[in-house]
Structure 1
Amino acid sequence: MRTPVAIAPALALSAALAAGVANAQPAVTLVQDLQNVVSLDASASVEVPKDQLSITLRATREGPEAKAVQDGLKQAIDAALAEARKHAPPGQMDVRTGNFSLYPRYNQQGRITGWQGTAELVLEGRDMPLIAQTAGRLNTVSVANITQSLSREARERHASEVAGQAIARYRAKAQEYAEKFGFAGYVLREVNVSTSDSGSLPQPMMMRAKAAAEDAAVPVEAGKATVTVTVSGSVILR
């Protein structure tokens, strides 16, 4: 009498082994992808003129009564605001109010002896000569600080110009590393591209907005900003 052969269990075992191998393949691939990985970065920069100007003008008042100080600040800002708006073509210069503060002054006994307050007016835009000239016409406020910066449109335009250089440097560095480690080349694993610009710090100004000459412009000279594109990430050497 012939002994029956257990075919079904054998087939089940083969299927289980095949499934185990199939499930193990992604893990093997993952381990391989984590080998020979090099992290690196490269950047490219360009220096460009700043194209945006912001001038903050400030009125300061003090007195024994809070309301009188507040009214004095309001009159100063209203007068400056009305004058500035006469010279503010749409799209060339924006005029807006800034910070407002009112606080008491105390004597040594802790009693209120008076009040002091400040109010601000801000002129900003891309027409630097117009903004500087307008600031010089405002005789009820003083220049508090001047900030030059790079507009978003200019930053994006210049970043696009140097992005190609940064990417080319990244690829060249990756190829150089691959060859030094004895590999023929590389494949990209992860890449990040970022943009930054420097040189937008405010410049404190201890001067009157109204210069000695009638309607003289506040002295302003356009500075420089550096736009930098950085490419960072990792590659797999092969």
Structure 2
Amino acid sequence: MLRTTKIIAACALFTWAGATLAQPNVVRDVVQNVAQLSASGSVEVQQDLLSIAMSTTRDGADASAVQTQLKQALDTALAQARQAAAPGQMDVRTGAFSLQPRYGKDGKINGWQGSTELVLEGRDFLRITATAGKIQTLTLANVGFALSREQRAKVEGEAQALAIERFKGRAADVAKAFGFGSYTLREVSIGSNDQGSPRPYAMAIQARSAMSDAPVSVEAGKSTVTVTVSGSVQMK
């Protein structure tokens, strides 16, 4: 048993020593002549998605009665909105619903208050504003503009192509400036964002008659979609 143990220990020592001696032969990759770059491409586009939120509040001594009043107001508005709903043109959905106790000076509950919300959203501005104008059980709470998914995808593609071309141009210029003939791409990342400029209370003159019953006149602003390409290139 003693002889066997010594042989095993000797083999382990030899293996460790062999690994230690082999380490100096490992060739490490030294990064040289690498440039970090970034470039952006921006495209301005008309906002094509309108969102109108309508809401109402109720107050009373009985929680059940307040909840019933809110439900009736919302159901009536939903029935009117659904008649004009069209996929993509005007989508209808319920928003926030709340019911909370109201406290008196003595810290005890002396009533209840609640609110409910309905959202009309889509690309058909006239349909949405006209429908909102017909709803009597809810009032205007918020108006917002954005880009539809289809519009955003299209514009992001254009901005991305522009950003990539600018990145490639910068990479070629930098490589040339340092005396290199070309470059290869090492790594790259792409990010995008958009910044809008909504004008919810402006209205185009030609739309006045069609929107006369609307609770608010609207005209979309523009969004600027920006795509940034950043990464590193190997100059050679």
Structure 2 length normalisation: TM-score? 0.79
Q: CA deviation at 1:216?
A: 3.3
- Deviation by residue 1:82-125 (Cα, 9 ceiling, x = unmatched): 11111113442111111110001112210111110000111111
Q: CA deviation at 1:48?
A: 0.3
Preserved CA contact (<8 Å) 2:200 2:220: no
- Deviation by residue 1:126-176 (Cα, 9 ceiling, x = unmatched): 111111111111111011111211111111111222322211111111122
Give distance in 1, aligned partners of 2:127 and 2:64: 35
Q: 1:138 to 1:109 in 2, by over 3 A?
A: same
Give the CA RMSD over aligned residues: 2.5
Deviates most, 153-162 or 97-106: 153-162
Q: CA deviation at 1:202?
A: 11
Preserved CA contact (<8 Å) 2:197 2:221: no
Preserved CA contact (<8 Å) 2:59 2:111: yes
Give distance in 2, aligned partners of 1:91 and 1:223: 20
- Deviation by residue 1:29-60 (Cα, 9 ceiling, x = unmatched): x22xx211111110110110111111111010
Pick the aligned partner of 2:123 from 123, 126, 150: 126
Aligned letter for 1:227? Answer: V
Pick the aligned partner of 2:84 from 83, 87, 103: 87
Preserved CA contact (<8 Å) 2:46 2:222: yes
Give distance in 2, aligned partners of 1:58 and 1:42: 44
- Structure 2 match to 1:232: 230
Give distance in 1, aligned partners of 2:212 and 2:197: 30
Q: 1:120 to 1:191 in 2, by over 3 A?
A: same
Structure 1 length normalisation: TM-score? 0.79
- Structure 1 match to 2:216: 218
Give distance in 1, aligned partners of 2:198 and 2:67: 31
- Structure 1 match to 2:157: 160
- Aligned-pair identity in percent equals 53
Q: What are structure 1's unaligned runs of at least 5 residues?
A: 1-15, 205-212
Q: Any idea what SS the aligned residue of 1:148 has?
A: strand
Give distance in 2, aligned partners of 1:187 and 1:161: 24
Preserved CA contact (<8 Å) 1:145 1:202: no
Q: Any idea what SS the aligned residue of 2:173 has?
A: helix
- Structure 1 match to 2:11: none
Pick the aligned partner of 2:99 from 77, 99, 102: 102
Give distance in 2, aligned partners of 1:203 and 1:101: 27
Equivalent pairs counted in the alignment come to 206
Give distance in 2, aligned partners of 1:96 and 1:87: 13
Q: What are structure 2's unaligned runs of at least 5 residues?
A: 1-17, 202-210
